[in-house]
Amino acid sequence: MSNRLTRWIRKIPSSEAGFRMPTTHAEWQRWSKPRRRWLIAIGLFAALAFVLAVLSAPTWALLTAFALAFLSQAPLLYYERREDHADRRGDRDA
């Protein structure tokens, strides 16, 4: 089975075998300029996205921390408010 598969793969021309990055200077020269420009643009976009993610991570961490702190206090505030109303009405057991 694997022998048949390797023979079939060998029949595929290298241009259709899949994407392979050029490694030598000559291979880069053979590539068309638009393709190189696309790769450079994608690389720059990925670098920018990474930098923005790293810079915005502390902001999201702070927002999450404040949100969690507020949400964890919400039940306490609710029960304190209930006790205040109970004190005003005079029935402490409520």
- Give the model confidence (pLDDT) of 45-75 as tens digits: 999 988 888 888 888 888 888 888 887 776 6
- H helical segments located in the chain: 2-11, 25-30, 33-89
Structure tokens at 69: 């702190």
* CA 64/CA 66 separation, integer angstroms: 5
Q: How many CB atoms lie within 10 A of CB 11?
A: 6
- Which has the closest alpha carbon to 28: 40, 17, 18? 40
- Give the model confidence (pLDDT) of 3-34 as tens digits: 666 666 666 555 555 667 777 777 777 766 66
